């Protein structure tokens, strides 16, 4: 067996993961059917939820279970509306776009009785939701702009998507989904201050929405505001029903702060939520190597190459494996 690297070199290899994380593309798990919408509804259990196609017809329906969790499946890609049926009325609450690039979508619906709590505030753990805002409908024109933005982003037209999202939030300033997606595009263009501003505004509207917590945590992580980034990412992890991304980015933060055992645990939690999250397995390997647990870390790196042999960073990972005591061929280990 080759001589192990010094602690300093091991730490250097572990921290290489942080540079690659900024370019991460979100991964989704493979489902039994091609397209899945899942998540939770704040109104609780036994709420009928519909997935409406472009004609307004139900493509799928279900009833929320304990804790408000639900899952809907469809065999056709395209834009859909998520709706809730109650008291004989169908209320549209969100728009999703399912495609081969995004076959699984996770959402959180804020559904409350529109009249009984008009002047109330709803509590969700440490987070408070203004029910008056959640009960206020999003204008149809703003929803259409949001749907157009989703389609344009799928086609790679980020400028067009951004323009429509900006128009949507000008028409509906409390449209949290549009605000969140606009912030993602702002961050992608390195406009961190603008992204941070609208994400903080989103959280003023709904402190229980996990995606603004996650994306604000990433903006804060970009500018190395680690204490608040940790707070926001931990909140996203607690609030998200099943997404692996909050745990993964918590691992990134711990890795940057050289808390290698906590990083390993966070990457492990991401893999529990999404077992085929290849990049989380790679980064767990880096954390293990950085902590001095070279054999376990090497096993994670080897597993990453076996599942992602053509990844853009595959050659770099092979070189790192050679450094820590093992060679890997183009198709796996040897």
pLDDT recorded at residue 97 = 76
pLDDT recorded at residue 89 = 65
Q: Identify the CA nearest to 64 among candidates 78, 90, 85, 81.
A: 85
CA dist 226 to 198, 253, 290, Å?
20, 7, 20
Considering the domain boundaries, does residue 62 fall inside one? yes
Residues 215, 129 share a domain: yes
Find all residues with CB under 8 Å of 64, minimum gap 6, and list them: 40, 41, 43, 44, 45, 46, 47, 49, 70
The answer to whether the CB of 121 falls within 8 A of the CB of 208 is no
Q: Is the pLDDT of residue 212 over 70?
A: yes
Considering the domain boundaries, does residue 253 fall inside one? no
Q: Which of 118-132, 153-167, 200-214, 237-251 has the lowest mean pLDDT?
A: 118-132
Residues 46, 21 share a domain: no
Q: Identify the CA nearest to 95 among candidates 139, 65, 32.
A: 139
Rounded to an integer, the average pLDDT of 305-333 is 76
Q: Quote the Cα angle for 138-187-287, to 5°.
A: 120
Rounded to whole angstroms, how far apart are CA atoms 194 and 202? 13
**What sign results for the dihedral spanned by CA atoms 167, 173, 174, 179?**
positive
pLDDT recorded at residue 7 = 43
220 or 54, greater pLDDT: 220
The answer to whether the CB of 142 falls within 8 A of the CB of 175 is yes
The answer to whether the CB of 207 falls within 8 A of the CB of 124 is yes
The answer to whether the CB of 88 falls within 8 A of the CB of 104 is no
The answer to whether the CB of 121 falls within 8 A of the CB of 131 is yes
Considering the domain boundaries, does residue 36 fall inside one? yes
List, for residues 278-317, the tens digit of each pLDDT value: 999 999 999 999 999 999 999 999 999 999 888 888 899 9
Considering the domain boundaries, does residue 320 fall inside one? yes
Q: Is the pLDDT of residue 186 over 70?
A: yes
Residues 236, 119 share a domain: yes
pLDDT recorded at residue 271 = 94
pTM of the model: 0.64
pLDDT recorded at residue 297 = 93
pLDDT band per the 50, 70, 90 thresholds, residue 91: confident
Rounded to whole angstroms, how far apart are CA atoms 132 and 234? 27
Tell me which of 111, 145, 177 is where a domain ends: 111
Q: Which of 7-11, 103-107, 178-182, 279-283 has the lowest mean pLDDT?
A: 7-11
The answer to whether the CB of 206 falls within 8 A of the CB of 184 is no
Rounded to an integer, the average pLDDT of 159-178 is 93
Tokens of 285: 């390997």
Residues 130, 197 share a domain: yes
Rounded to whole angstroms, how far apart are CA atoms 37 and 71? 6
Rounded to an integer, the average pLDDT of 68-86 is 78
34 or 95, greater pLDDT: 95
DSSP code per residue over 116-185: TTTT-EEEETTEEEEHHHHTSPPPHHHHHHHHHHHHHHHTT-HHHHHHHHHHHHHH-TT-HHHHHHHHHH
The number of folded domains in the chain is 3
**CATH number of the domain within which 82 lies:** 2.60.40.10
pLDDT recorded at residue 100 = 59
Find all residues with CB under 8 Å of 259, minimum gap 6, and list them: none
Q: Identify the CA nearest to 53 among candidates 82, 84, 32, 33.
A: 82
Considering the domain boundaries, does residue 90 fall inside one? yes
**CATH number of the domain within which 153 lies:** 1.25.40.10
Considering the domain boundaries, does residue 248 fall inside one? no
Rounded to an integer, the average pLDDT of 128-153 is 71
Q: Identify the CA nearest to 332 among candidates 302, 310, 311, 301.
A: 302
Instruction: Express as a percent the part of the chain with pLDDT over 90.
Output: 39
326 or 322, greater pLDDT: 322
Q: Is the pLDDT of residue 121 over 70?
A: no
Q: Specify whether the backbone of 121 is left (phi greater than 0), alpha (psi in -120 to 50) or beta.
A: beta
pLDDT band per the 50, 70, 90 thresholds, residue 139: confident
Rounded to whole angstroms, how far apart are CA atoms 86 and 115? 13
Residues 167, 49 share a domain: no
Rounded to an integer, the average pLDDT of 322-334 is 55
Residues 222, 293 share a domain: no
Segments forming the whole domain that contains residue 40: 32-111
pLDDT band per the 50, 70, 90 thresholds, residue 88: low
């Amino acid at each position: 067996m080759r001589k192990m690297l010094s602690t300093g070199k091991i730490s250097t290899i572990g921290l290489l993961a942080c540079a690659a994380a900024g370019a991460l593309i979100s991964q989704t798990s493979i489902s039994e059917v091609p397209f899945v919408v899942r998540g939770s509804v704040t109104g609780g259990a036994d709420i009928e939820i519909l997935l409406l196609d472009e004609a307004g017809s139900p493509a799928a329906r279900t009833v929320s279970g304990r804790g408000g969790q639900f899952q809907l499946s469809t065999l056709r890609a395209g834009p859909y509306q998520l709706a809730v049926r109650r008291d004989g009325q169908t209320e549209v609450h969100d728009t999703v776009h399912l495609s081969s690039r995004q076959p699984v979508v996770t959402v959180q619906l804020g559904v409350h009785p529109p009249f009984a709590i008009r002047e109330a505030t709803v509590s969700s753990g440490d987070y408070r939701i203004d029910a008056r805002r959640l009960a206020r409908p999003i204008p149809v024109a703003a929803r259409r702009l949001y749907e157009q933005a989703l389609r344009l982003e799928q086609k790679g037209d980020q400028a067009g998507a951004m323009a429509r999202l900006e128009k949507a939030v000008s028409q509906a300033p409390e449209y949290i989904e549009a605000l969140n997606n606009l912030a993602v595009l702002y961050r992608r263009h390195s406009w961190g201050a603008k992204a941070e501003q609208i994400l903080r505004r989103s959280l003023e509207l709904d402190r229980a929405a996990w995606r603004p917590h996650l994306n604000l945590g990433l903006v804060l992580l970009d500018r190395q505001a680690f204490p608040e980034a940790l707070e926001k990412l931990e909140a996203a992890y607690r609030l998200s029903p099943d997404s692996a991304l909050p745990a993964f980015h918590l691992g990134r933060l711990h890795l940057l702060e050289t808390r290698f055992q906590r990083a390993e645990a966070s990457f492990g939690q991401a893999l529990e939520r999404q077992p085929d999250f290849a990049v989380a397995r790679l980064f767990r390997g880096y954390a293990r190597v950085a902590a001095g647990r070279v054999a376990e870390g090497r096993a994670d790196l080897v597993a990453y190459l076996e599942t992602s042999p053509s990844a853009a960073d595959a050659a770099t990972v092979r070189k790192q494996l050679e450094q820590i005591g093992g060679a890997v061929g183009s198709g796996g280990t040897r």
